[in-house]
Chains A and B, each alone.
Chain A
Amino acid sequence: MASCNEERPQPGNLTRFARRYGLQIGIVLVAVIVWVLFLIGSPQTFLSFPMYQAFMSTTPFFAMMALPLTLVIIAAEIDLSFPSVMAFGMTIFTLVLGATNSLTLAFIGCLLAGLLAGVVNGLLVARIGVPSLVATIGTQFFWRGVVLVVTGGNGRSLVPAQGSLLYNTLVGRLAGRIPAQMIWTIIVAIVVWLFLNRHKFGAHVYLIGDNIESAKLMGVNAARTKLLVFAIMGVVAAFAGLVVSLEVLYFWPTMGEGYLMSTLSSVFLGGTSVFGGVGTIFGTFVASFIIGAINGGIVAAGLAGFWTQLIYGLIIVASVSMHAVLRRRLA
């Protein structure tokens, strides 16, 4: 009789796998479907390499930021200030470059500016207790204001940086074809994945996003974890700002505004719940390229660029609604 229990039919490995990785499998299927649709829609474009080279060149601009933004949203917070932080980092970059003529110092200054902006967000949210939605809308305006005041609204050419070590490392072409920013995005993805899934920090990100009271009762330092999440977001936003500017060899003080929608929709389409506690780096990574493909596909299909905004908005609303429904069913 004792063995009865063991002989009960166990859920098959396949079922278990599907249950555990359902969202990830789903997003890969969506990616394949989108790709096939585009392939049918304009085979000439989607069967040649330049299209993919263009993907790998422009998608990293927001994919890179969508990765740490995934951490922010898993922690049940939001950051809307990163478009301005991109420009703020570049403002410091150009200031330091002008003063010292050193690309290395300018690079460090840029990342420190991002860190500062991230820490300010983190302190507002974790220490002062301002809801992150409001805090980061505020800092979005604030940093944009700083950028416009300092630059006087004037852009700056970065042509002298062309061919430098920094330029080649960040936006050069590997083997003459693969954009370096693609490699950087993969590196950011691996590092963020490692810390989210295999480090105490990531464990705490999931826990505070799921149930912050429980996490605090069990000794998780919620304030420190949130501060760190916002700090990482700030640094990566500044880095992405530099990558964008070097790619086009020009810094516009209005830079970043176009990336808010694509970055947010990548995270939500990737299966991260706006309610916190759920989300994967893999999902965000794949979803970024779907978003990038939609962007490219709309242009290739001959539709006006206005359509992108409509579609991104639709994706955000649809994926967030899906999570609300799933959550109600679980409760």
Chain B
Amino acid sequence: MGYILEMRDICKSFGEVEALRHVDFAVGTNEIVGLLGDNGAGKSTLIKIITGYHYPDSGEFYFNDEKMEHLTVARVRQLGIETVYQERALADLQPLWRNIFMGRELSGPLGFLDVDKMRQETQRLMVGSMGFTSSAVMPESVVGSFSGGEKQGVAIVRALHFQAELIILDEPTMGLSLSETRKLLDFVRDIKKAGKACIFIDHNVFHVYSVADRVVVLDRGAVAGQFSTKNITLDQLMDKMYRVAQTGSLD
């Protein structure tokens, strides 16, 4: 199996703080990779480098074995990497359709918007993928009035709509109800079935273990270790996570 994404020797500092130290990280073409680590381990920084939001101080970035330089958010999305951010990246005062197409509005050659098409497409996604049956939710509804689960639904459907090859989920279960969490985990399994790849980040080891093919553990800005979920039991993984948190080493 080849890699859809490969990052070598990534370093990133913010002033005095070394957020990432010589990190190697890769995702297979049809692999679900769980990314685990305590607060401040560098998970979000790594994700924001992959999505082109931060630029690494050093290191190499390969997409489908091709070396990439000077990545921007727009370029990364063009490559087919979609992200559902922890902070959801929504604009609360704007209508649903503007949020779905944020940063990638459908437009003609001169940049004029195809508003009707975006509204129709939003309507279709609402009924089809988001499962919004409430008649109070319309493409014109302002996103700020939605519940936490509904907002998460919007963020996920937005990622799905654009035919992603690699979907990054950053703390997607935060603030979700039990049934919403279950739906989300099923959704991750569907990514696998569809032959696509996913990076799944969560505080909850159970969630990650139940869907991931491989788990990468970050600690204080470096990769502490990685395991195939086939070769490790949940108890062993939990054990190792505690040890890393306390001693900084897996064994």
CB distance from A31 to the nearest CB of B (A): 25
- Cβ proximity bits A172-208 to B, threshold 8 Å, 1 near / 0 not: 0000000000000000000000100011110110110
CB of B73 closer than 8 Å to a CB of A: yes
CB distance from B161 to the nearest CB of A (A): 13
A205–B73 Cα distance when bound, in Å, is 18
Which listed residue, A194, A203, A219, touches B73 by the CB 8 Å rule?
A219
CB of B102 closer than 8 Å to a CB of A: yes
- Cβ proximity bits B73-88 to A, threshold 8 Å, 1 near / 0 not: 1100100000101011
> Taking CB as reference atom, which chain A residue is nearest B107?
A200
> Taking CB as reference atom, which chain B residue is nearest A220?
B103
List residues of chain B with CB within 8 A of the CB of A16: 138, 140
CB distance from B83 to the nearest CB of A (A): 7
Which A residues, 1 to 37, have Cβ-Cβ distances below 8 Å to chain B? 5, 8, 10-11, 16, 20
Known contacts: A8-B135, A201-B111. The answer to whether A217 contacts B85 by CB under 8 A is: yes
Count A/B pairs, Cβ under 8 Å. 87
Interface contact B113-A214, CB-CB below 8 Å: no
CB of A278 closer than 8 Å to a CB of B: yes
Interface contact A219-B74, CB-CB below 8 Å: yes
A199–B51 Cα distance when bound, in Å, is 25
Interface contact B73-A217, CB-CB below 8 Å: yes
List residues of chain A with CB within 8 A of the CB of B74: 219, 221
CB of B14 closer than 8 Å to a CB of A: no
Residue from the set A201, A206, A211, A330 with the largest chain B CB neighbour count within 10 Å: A211
A331–B51 Cα distance when bound, in Å, is 29
CB distance from B198 to the nearest CB of A (A): 18
> Taking CB as reference atom, which chain A residue is nearest B51?
A217
Interface contact B103-A218, CB-CB below 8 Å: yes
- Cβ proximity bits B162-198 to A, threshold 8 Å, 1 near / 0 not: 0000000000000000000000000000000000000
Interface contact A198-B113, CB-CB below 8 Å: yes
CB of A277 closer than 8 Å to a CB of B: yes
Interface contact B51-A203, CB-CB below 8 Å: no
> Taking CB as reference atom, which chain A residue is nearest B85?
A217
Known contacts: A200-B105, A217-B51, A219-B74. The answer to whether A207 contacts B94 by CB under 8 A is: yes
Which A residues, 199 to 236, have Cβ-Cβ distances below 8 Å to chain B? 199-201, 203-204, 206-207, 210-211, 213-221
Q: Give residues in B with beta carbon < 8 Å to A.
A: 51-53, 72-74, 77, 83, 85, 87-94, 98, 101-105, 107, 111-113, 115, 133, 135-136, 138, 140, 144-145
A-B pairs with beta carbons under 8 Å apart, 10 shown = A203-B105, A206-B91, A207-B102, A207-B103, A211-B91, A219-B72, A219-B74, A219-B104, A277-B94, A330-B145
